[in-house]
Structure 1
Amino acid sequence: MGILSRFKDIMSSNINALLDTMEDPSKIIDQYLRDLESDLGKVKAETAAVMAEETRAKRELDECSAEVQRMQDYAEKAVKAGNDDDARQFLSKKKLQTDQETSLKHIYEAAAGNAAKMRQMHDKLVADIGSLNARKDSVKAKIAVAKTQERINQMGSSVAGVQGTMSAFDKMEAKADRLLDQANAMTELNESAAKDDVGDLAKKYDTMQTVDVEDELAALKAKLGE
């Protein structure tokens, strides 16, 4: 029954507190579960053996009790038949069987107590393993989310770098726009200056044309004697 001592800590352990102190929950939970599964196999084997002892003790007790009753029945039949000597023999055998029955009752009660403890331990261990399995999935899910968040943060840093590059590009584009606007303005100014030159030239000829008309008018008047 050394296994009872071995699993005493398991029966009284606080698994939630154990999980909370884990540095690497995922790996430690897997290892702890492997250990518990191994222990569960031993507990099952020991529980089966103890339950077999209980069954055997119960069977021996029942057989002894049946024999006590059988001797009682034979003693009654012997008395009815007027055979007191036979009745004494049956009652003597009954007494021996009754003493044996008392001893077997103690053995059975002890075996039943051990079997109850082992069943309790087995059920507790199964429940603890189920609890750990449920928490294991939760812990691993949290770890997966944390790793995903870490990757997102890393990508966020990369995107931030791209944003910086975009900002520099925007500045370069703005500078190019200013240069283009300046060039367009200069072109416009040059075109305006060219138009002004032509205008001055046209005025020169306009003046000449006006002089020609006046001369022609004077000549016409002279011709007409005006």
Structure 2
Amino acid sequence: MGIIKRLRDLTVASVNDVIDSMEDPAVMLTQYMRDMESEIGRAEVAVARQVALEKKFRQQWEEALRMVEKRERQVNLALSEGEDELARRALIDKKYFETRASENEALYQSAREAAGQMREKLAQLKDEFYKMRAKKYTLMSRAQVARTQKHLNHVINGIGCESATRGFARMEEKVMRMEAEAELTGQWNQGFRSLHSSLDALEADDIDQELALRKERLFDKKTDETRQEEQGDHLSR
């Protein structure tokens, strides 16, 4: 029995948790207000019926009192005319209407008291409704604030925030790597340009030396040819 009770309690608790998670305060508050409006409408109908019943008993009571007064006059009139039997019948009828008047008075007083109590309850119900209607908007605003705060807390503390943080860290690392690669590329290009300039300078020096050497050879060659021509002329003489 203990295990069955615990299982039942767990089931009930689980169902309550599911229902509680499904309840939207705004929707539920609106539904409660509609329910109260329906109750107020039914109460107003009941009060109206009770007031109508109160008026009915009052009219019957007042009518019975008028008949009592009428029969009283008729009894006195019949006696003054010597109509004893007619006076007797009028007196019996008067007693009947007196009884009716007493009964209707009791019914009227009872209906009047009930109508007064119902009016008071209706006024209390309407007053409570107006208070709840004013409180409804406050609760809805608080619920919206709480829902927004909960969402923000989830974003800040949840998986989404951690993922974004990791993503930013990864992008920062990538940017730093790109900057390092750009710096190394710039250094390599600068070194390459420096090497190229040095090679160009060396190559320019070699060309100047070669040109000087060639000029020297060409000068020596011309000198030799001139010398040979002069020797030839001397021998021919």
Give TM-score scaled by structure 2 length.
0.57
Offset at 1:53? 5.5
Match of 1:166 in 2: 168
2 CA distance for matches of 1:73 and 1:146? 80
1 CA distance for matches of 2:29 and 2:223? 127
Match of 2:154 in 1: 154
2 CA distance for matches of 1:112 and 1:38? 25
Match of 1:64 in 2: 64
Identity score, percent: 16
2 CA distance for matches of 1:34 and 1:215? 120
Offset at 1:67? 0.4
What SS does the corresponding residue of 2:132 show, helix, strand or coil?
helix
1 CA distance for matches of 2:205 and 2:34? 108
Specify whether residues 171 and 69 from structure 1 end up closer, same or farther in structure 2 by C-alpha distance, changes over 3 A only.
same
Offset at 1:62? 1.9
Match of 2:11 in 1: none
Give the greater-gyration-radius structure (CA): 2
The code of the aligned residue for 1:180 comes to: A
| 1:31-42 map, 5 Å | none
Offset at 1:186? 1.9
Offset at 1:59? 3.5
Specify whether residues 184 and 156 from structure 1 end up closer, same or farther in structure 2 by C-alpha distance, changes over 3 A only.
same
Q: Is the 8 A contact 2:75 2:91 kept in 1?
A: no
Q: Is the 8 A contact 2:67 2:94 kept in 1?
A: no
Match of 1:109 in 2: 109
Match of 1:83 among 73, 81, 84: 81
The code of the aligned residue for 1:132 comes to: M
Match of 2:210 in 1: 208
Q: Is the 8 A contact 2:54 2:112 kept in 1?
A: yes
- How many pairs align? 200
Specify whether residues 196 and 41 from structure 1 end up closer, same or farther in structure 2 by C-alpha distance, changes over 3 A only.
closer
Offset at 1:50? 5.1
Specify whether residues 185 and 66 from structure 1 end up closer, same or farther in structure 2 by C-alpha distance, changes over 3 A only.
same
1:43-62: CA deviation from partner (whole Å, max 9, x where unpaired) = 67975775466345313312
Match of 1:189 among 188, 191, 209: 191
